C-alpha cells in the first residue's frame, strides 16, 4: 500500500505495521511482523510474556528506532514524520507513568502542556475525560492516594486528552482486581465503538477479548495468527479462544 | 507545531520539576545540608590552616569560608545536574520519561526543557544556600547576587548536559554511588572549588593542569567572579564550549537511530 503520506484520515486503517523486524544485541525480538489496526475497532495483541509486545510498543512510540520495516500512524510514517504521527497517538504504558506526589489535575495539566493544549480547552477536556471515568471528584487528590484501578483510569483519561486517533494499551489491567479490570476493559471497548478510536490492546489474558475484536497472536517475535475471534478459533480447529491460544503459543523450542 | 506549543510544553516541564521539588521536602533538605556541612564544619576546621593569599576577584585577605562558598555553589549544581539527569535514566525505565518522549515535539527540545527544569531547581537551592551563608557572614556585594544568576544558568546547563551525556551512555545504572565515586568526587576535588589553582601548583604541576582543564573548575570560577560583580571571560567561554559539546553528544546519544538507546534496550 503506497498511500500519500499526508492523506487525511478517511481510510479506516489507523495503524499499519509492515515487515517489522527488530533485534536486541543477541536476541531477535520481532521477526517480519505485519498487521493493521482499524478505526472503531479493538485489536487485541495477544501473546505470552516475552512474545515481543513491549518491544513492538517501544517501536511504535519511537523509544527505539525502526531499522527494518515500517510503522505508519494515520498515514504518517513514524520514522520520517515523527511529530505528526505521535500527535495521533495516545499511550497507556504497562508501568504507571504518573507522578505520585502530584495531584490528578497536575498530572493531566502536565500532559496537556506537552501537547500544547491551552488553559480553557485543557480544563474542559480534562473534565470531560475524568467525568466519563467517574474520576472528576477526585481531581484534587494525589496519585499516591489512589488505588491501582483509579490510577489506570487517570492514565486512560490522560491518553485521550489530545484526541488521538489511535490508543495503545500495554497490558493495562495487570495487577488490578476483577471489578477494576472489568470496568477498564468495558470502557476501552466503548471508546472504539462510540468514539471511533482505533485500539491496540496488548494482553495475555484471553478473557479480555470481546466477540467483535480483531486478534493478532504474537509468539516469540512472530505473528502466529490474525483475524477475528471467530476466524482464529476456526483456523486453529479449536473449541475456544483459550484452547487456540494454548495451541498457538506452545513453546516450540523444546 | 506552533511556537506556542513549544512554550507551553517548556512551561509544563519546568513547572512540574519545581512542583515535585517543593513537594519532596527531604530532597530539598538534603540538597541544602550537604553544602552547609562543608561550610560550617569543613571550612571552619581549615580556617586557620589555609592562608589564602590575595587573588582576583578578591581584593583583600579572605577567610577560607569565603573562598569555598562559590565552590559549594558549584557543588550544589554539580550534584543537582547529575541527579536530575541520572533520574532520567531511571524515569526512562520506569515510565515518566516515556510519556515525555511520546509527545509530538523534537527530542532535542524535550531534553533542553528537562535541562532547564533541572537548572531552575538548582538555582533555587543555590539562593537558599547563599542566604544561609549570608547569615554566617559570608557576604558578597549585593549586585553580585544579581550577576550570579546568568552565571548559574550557564554553569547549571553545562553540568546538567554532562549528566545527560553520562545518562545516555552509561549502560546500566546500578546506583548513584558509582557516579559519585567516579565522576562527582574527582571532578569536585580536582577543581578550584576547595583550593586555588596556584596552591595546587605548589604540590603538583600535573594536578594543576588537570584542575585547570576541568570544566567544573571553570564553572566555579565563573560563579566566583560573578559573585563579586566581575566577568571572567575565559571561564565563560570555556563553560559555554563545554556545554555545547556535552549537549550535542547527549542529543546524539538520545536519538533513537544513532544513539545508545538500542544497546540498553535488552531485557
Nearest to A86 among B94, B103, B263 (CB): B103
- Which stretches does DSSP call E strand in A87-158? 89-92
For B174-198, what is the mean pLDDT?
81
Residue B261: name the closest of B83, B101, B79 by CA. B101
More confident residue, B230 or B199: B230
Instruction: Please name the residue that has the C-alpha cell 586555588.
Output: B196
Taking only the tens place, the pLDDT of each residue in A97-119 is: 888 888 999 999 999 999 999 88
Question: Which of B266, B249, B128 has its CA nearest to residue A25?
Answer: B266
Three-state DSSP string of B78-108: HHHHHHHHHHHHHHHHHCHHHHHHCCCCCHH
Q: Which residue has the higher pLDDT, B59 or B37?
A: B37
Does position A15 have pLDDT exceeding 90, yes or no?
Answer: yes
Q: Quote the pLDDT of residue A254.
A: 41
How many CA atoms, within 13 angstroms, populate the side-chain half-sphere of residue B37? Answer: 8
Q: For the segment B112-140, what is each residue's pLDDT rounded down to a tens digit?
A: 898 999 999 999 999 999 999 999 888 88
- Top-ranked range on mean pLDDT: pick from A11-20, A61-70, A82-91: A82-91
Nearest to B46 by CA among B202, B194, B207: B194
| Average of per-residue pLDDT values in chain B | 84
Query: Which pLDDT does position A36 carry in this prediction?
Result: 94
- Of A195-209, B83-97, B119-133, the one with minimum mean pLDDT is B83-97
Q: According to the model, what pLDDT value does residue A32 have?
A: 93
In the prediction, which pLDDT does A6 show? 42
Contact A63 B106 (CB under 8 A): no
DSSP helix, strand, coil percent of chain A (3-state; round to 5):
35, 25, 40
* Averaged confidence pLDDT in chain A: 89
Q: What is the pLDDT of residue B258?
A: 52
Place of cell 549585593: B142
* Model confidence pLDDT, tens digit, residues B205-263: 888 999 999 999 999 999 999 999 999 999 999 999 999 999 999 888 876 655 445 44
**Mean pLDDT along residues B26-51:** 82
Domain residue extents for chain A: 13-88+164-248, 100-163
Q: For residue A232, give the C-alpha cell.
A: 482464529
Q: ipTM, 2 decimals?
A: 0.81
Query: From the list A24, A61, A114, which residue is nearest B9 (CB)?
Result: A114
pLDDT of residue B196: 86
Is the pLDDT at A224 greater than 80? The verdict is yes
Chain B: give the shortest CA distance to residue A193, in Å: 25
Chain A positions touching B16 (Cβ under 8 A) are 99, 102, 106, 110
* B1 in A contact zone (CB under 8 Å): yes
Beta strands in chain A (DSSP E): 13-23, 28-38, 42-46, 68-73, 76-77, 89-92, 166-170, 198-203, 214-219, 222-228
* 3-state secondary structure at position A163: coil
Please, which pLDDT band fits residue B91 given cuts at 50, 70 and 90? low
Percentage of chain B modeled with pLDDT above 70: 87
Residues A127-181: tens digit of each pLDDT:
999 999 999 999 999 999 999 999 999 999 999 999 999 999 999 998 899 999 9
Identify the pLDDT of residue B121: 92
Nearest CB partner across the interface for A83, out of B13, B19, B105: B105
Using 50, 70 and 90 to split pLDDT, how confident is the model at B265? Answer: very low
State the Cα angle at A207 between A202 and A209, rounded to 5°.
55
Predicted pLDDT at B264: 45
> CA nearest A33: which of A224, A169, A229, A214?
A224
Q: Which residue's C-alpha cell is 525502526?
A: A66
User: Looking at the predicted structure, is the pLDDT value of residue B11 above 60?
Assistant: yes
Q: Which residues of A touch B (CB under 8 A)?
A: 24-27, 55, 58, 61-65, 79, 82-87, 89, 91, 93, 95-99, 101-102, 106, 109-118
DSSP state of B214: -
Tell me how many residue pairs between chain A and chain B have CB atoms under 8 A apart. 103
Q: Do B24 and A101 touch (CB under 8 A)?
A: yes
What fold is seen in the domain A13-88+164-248? Answer: Rossmann fold (3.40.50)
**Phi-psi domain of A40 (left: phi exceeds 0; alpha: psi -120 through 50; beta: other):** left
Answer with the residue of higher pLDDT: A251 or B2.
Answer: B2
A1 vs A241, more confident = A241
CB-nearest to B12 from A63, A101, A113 is A113
pLDDT digits (tens, 9 = 90+) for A42-79: 999 999 888 899 889 989 988 788 778 999 999 999 98
> Is B22 at the interface with chain A, CB within 8 A?
no
Query: What is the C-alpha separation between A113 and A91, in angstroms, rounded?
Result: 16
**Nearest partner of A143 among A178, A100, A199, judged by Cα:** A100
Contact A118 B8 (CB under 8 A): yes
pLDDT at B72: 96
B interface mutation test: which of A23, A94, A116 has the most B CBs within 10 A? A116
Under an 8 A CB cutoff, do A63 and B13 touch?
Answer: no
Strand order in the sheet with A76-77: A28-38, A13-23, A68-73, A76-77
- Alpha-carbon span B31 to B79, nearest angstrom: 8
Asked if residues A167 and A92 have their Cβ atoms less than 8 Å apart, the reply is: yes
Amino acid at each position: 500500500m503506497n498511500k500519500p503520506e499526508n492523506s487525511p484520515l478517511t481510510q479506516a486503517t489507523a495503524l499499519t505495521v509492515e515487515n517489522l523486524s527488530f533485534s536486541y544485541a543477541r536476541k531477535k525480538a520481532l521477526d517480519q511482523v505485519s498487521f493493521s489496526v482499524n478505526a472503531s475497532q479493538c485489536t487485541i495483541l495477544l501473546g505470552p510474556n516475552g512474545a515481543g509486545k513491549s518491544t513492538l510498543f517501544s517501536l511504535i512510540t519511537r523509544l527505539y528506532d525502526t531499522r527494518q520495516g515500517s510503522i505508519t500512524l494515520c498515514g504518517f510514517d513514524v520514522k520520517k514524520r515523527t511529530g505528526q504521527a505521535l500527535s495521533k497517538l495516545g499511550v497507556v504504558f504497562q508501568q504507571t507513568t504518573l507522578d505520585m506526589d502530584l495531584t490528578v489535575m497536575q498530572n493531566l495539566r502536565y500532559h496537556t502542556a506537552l501537547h500544547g493544549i491551552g488553559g480553557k480547552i485543557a480544563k474542559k477536556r480534562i473534565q470531560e475525560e475524568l467525568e466519563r471515568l467517574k474520576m472528576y471528584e477526585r481531581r484534587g487528590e494525589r496519585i499516591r492516594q489512589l488505588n491501582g484501578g483509579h490510577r489506570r483510569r487517570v492514565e486512560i483519561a490522560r491518553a485521550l486528552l489530545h484526541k488521538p486517533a489511535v490508543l495503545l494499551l500495554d497490558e493495562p489491567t495487570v495487577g488490578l482486581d476483577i471489578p477494576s479490570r472489568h470496568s477498564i476493559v468495558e470502557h476501552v471497548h466503548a471508546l472504539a465503538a462510540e468514539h471511533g478510536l482505533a485500539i491496540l490492546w496488548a494482553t495475555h489474558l484471553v478473557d479480555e477479548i470481546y466477540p467483535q475484536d480483531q486478534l493478532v497472536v504474537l509468539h516469540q517475535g512472530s505473528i502466529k495468527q490474525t483475524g477475528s475471534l471467530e476466524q482464529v478459533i476456526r483456523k486453529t480447529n479449536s473449541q475456544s479462544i483459550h484452547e487456540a491460544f494454548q495451541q498457538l503459543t506452545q513453546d516450540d523450542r523444546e | 507545531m506552533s511556537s506556542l506549543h513549544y512554550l507551553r510544553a517548556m512551561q509544563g516541564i519546568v513547572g512540574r520539576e519545581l512542583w515535585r521539588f517543593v513537594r519532596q521536602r527531604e530532597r530539598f533538605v538534603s540538597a541544602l545540608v550537604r553544602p552547609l556541612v562543608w561550610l560550617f564544619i569543613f571550612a571552619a576546621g581549615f580556617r586557620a590552616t589555609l592562608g589564602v593569599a590575595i587573588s582576583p576577584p578578591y581584593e583583600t585577605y579572605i577567610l577560607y569560608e569565603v573562598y569555598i562558598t562559590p565552590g559549594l555553589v558549584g557543588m550544589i549544581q554539580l550534584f543537582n545536574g547529575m541527579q536530575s539527569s541520572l533520574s532520567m535514566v531511571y524515569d526512562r525505565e520506569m515510565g515518566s520519561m516515556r510519556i515525555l518522549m511520546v509527545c509530538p515535539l523534537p527530542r532535542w527540545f524535550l531534553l533542553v526543557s528537562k535541562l532547564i527544569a533541572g537548572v531552575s531547581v538548582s538555582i533555587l537551592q543555590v539562593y537558599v544556600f547563599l542566604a544561609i551563608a549570608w547569615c554566617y557572614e559570608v557576604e558578597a556585594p549585593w549586585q553580585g547576587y544579581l550577576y550570579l544568576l546568568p552565571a548559574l544558568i550557564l554553569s547549571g546547563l553545562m553540568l546538567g548536559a554532562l549528566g545527560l551525556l553520562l545518562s545516555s551512555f552509561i549502560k546500566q545504572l546500578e546506583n548513584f554511588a558509582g557516579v559519585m565515586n567516579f565522576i562527582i568526587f574527582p571532578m569536585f576535588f580536582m577543581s578550584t572549588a576547595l583550593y586555588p589553582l596556584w596552591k595546587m601548583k605548589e604540590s603538583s604541576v600535573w594536578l594543576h593542569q588537570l584542575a585547570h582543564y576541568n570544566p567544573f573548575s571553570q564553572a566555579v570560577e565563573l560563579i566566583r567572579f560573578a559573585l563579586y560583580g566581575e566577568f571572567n571571560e575565559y571561564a565563560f567561554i570555556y563553560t559555554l564550549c563545554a556545554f555545547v559539546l556535552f549537549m550535542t553528544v547527549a542529543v546524539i546519544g538520545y536519538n533513537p537511530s544513532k544513539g545508545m538507546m538500542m544497546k540498553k534496550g535488552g531485557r
